[in-house]
Structure 1
């Protein structure tokens, strides 16, 4: 992996492919490796930058609290630090929240935006799917025993039966207690994310079988956006980028290439 330093944060990233740049923002409990299937599928058409956020993977940052705004600023610094005026941005789940704040704070950094399996900034997960998040919180008291139950909120049961090794993702975490605490405190900090003036084309993408974030919570973001399309990935759960990377790449590529047809 390569690294880029800005404001005391050493961001680890992988850069592959050729063409227009697209930056991938991972989910809350993941790191850049969640895109190990998606990045190669996109790299045939684009320069793909998959990076680790603060307290994730190989990125190193000060042991102090931070907000979604700080994570959005990190993304903007990475885009500009790699020499790009702007890049396409794909954010999934928590990464989608960061991408929304990036669009609000640094709209000039974004060419086209893809928000996947995410929800509106400043809306508590307990307001999105209260029963689901309360159940997951109880399961996380013993992730070793409850990993199969946790996994079913992220992947459809039939898919897990075919890929049982994915359950291991949910048995533990490589983050230490400080890292977990800082990541866990992110959503408790309100942040400005007004997208009313963001006029770049945006795709709202959702897995049809997402049990964690209902499709309606993702698609309601269309009300805040000027130029928006929606698309659903059939038979996919919350982590479509792992479950169906080729189909996600197909949807993303079609959306990004549509600007060439419109030009």
Structure 2
């Protein structure tokens, strides 16, 4: 892992590959490592940048509260700090919310945008799927004994049976109490967001078997973003980049390489 200062935060990140820059934004309970396999699949075609958000992985940040707007600013300033004028952006789950706000608030930093298994900024997932999130809240009080049931909300049963090791992901948070409290407050912070402000060509990816964020909600985002395309990944649960990295990488690569003009990823000296 490497580190760089951006927006008052010391951001830990992993960079690999060659080609146009592609920033990967992880989900709420994850860190950059959720993209380890997925990133390798894309590194033959892109400079893949997977970073840790605030209170995640190796990133260190102030102890003050923050919301999606501040996280989007982190991403925008990370792109600039690495020496790029703009980058392709892929965000999944909460990372997709950050990606939407990044594209709306900092449009000059985003080349093409991919939103995966995510939801509209300002629409808390607890309201989209209240029964599921209530059950998950209860299950988390019983960890680690309840990890196997928690896993079923993120991966289809068939995948868990074939890869029982994925249950270990849900054995308990690696964050301390203060970090968990700040992360829990992300979606309650004030946010101004207008999807019409997104100018980047956009692909919306839904996972057909997503039990956490209803696929229909994810796909509905495309109706709010001009010219957005949609793809549904068959058989995929919420964490499609871990369950079906090849399929997701194929869709991402196809979309990002369908260029109609010149490169838009100008940089001064190649970044770090």
For Structure 1 versus Structure 2, the TM-score category normalised by the shorter chain is over 0.9
1:61-72 alignment, distance < 5 Å: 61-72=61-72
Give unpaired runs (5+ residues) of structure 2: 264-272
Q: 1:223 deviation in Å? A: 2.0
User: Matches of 1:102 and 1:247 in 2, distance apart?
Assistant: 25
Q: 1:197 deviation in Å? A: 2.9
User: Matches of 2:199 and 2:187 in 1, distance apart?
Assistant: 26
CA contact (8 A) 2:103 2:199 kept: no
Q: Partner residue of 2:237?
A: 237
Q: Partner residue of 1:191?
A: 191
Q: Partner residue of 1:15?
A: 15
User: Matches of 2:93 and 2:7 in 1, distance apart?
Assistant: 25
Runs of 4+ off more than 3 Å: 260-263
Q: 1:35 deviation in Å? A: 0.2
User: Matches of 1:22 and 1:66 in 2, distance apart?
Assistant: 24
1:81-160 alignment, distance < 5 Å: 81-160=81-160
Change (3 A) 1:262 1:74: closer
User: Matches of 2:250 and 2:238 in 1, distance apart?
Assistant: 17
Q: Partner residue of 2:246?
A: 246
TM-score, structure 1 length as denominator? 0.97
User: Matches of 1:259 and 1:9 in 2, distance apart?
Assistant: 34
Q: 1:9 deviation in Å? A: 0.6
Q: Does 2:156 correspond to 1:171?
A: no
- Secondary structure of 1:254's partner? helix
Number of positions where the alignment pairs a residue of Structure 1 with one of Structure 2? 263
Deviation string 1:137-193 (CA, Å, 9 cap, x unpaired) is: 111111211101100000000100111111011011110000000001111123112
Deviation string 1:64-86 (CA, Å, 9 cap, x unpaired) is: 11111110000000001111111
Give unpaired runs (5+ residues) of structure 1: none
User: Matches of 2:219 and 2:23 in 1, distance apart?
Assistant: 21
- Secondary structure of 1:91's partner? strand
> Is the helix fraction higher in 1 or 2?
1
CA contact (8 A) 2:100 2:198 kept: no
Deviation string 1:103-139 (CA, Å, 9 cap, x unpaired) is: 1110110000000000111112122111110110111
CA contact (8 A) 1:116 1:204 kept: yes
- Secondary structure of 2:259's partner? helix
- Secondary structure of 1:85's partner? coil
CA contact (8 A) 1:200 1:227 kept: no
Q: Which has the higher contact order (CA 8 A, sep 6+)?
A: 2
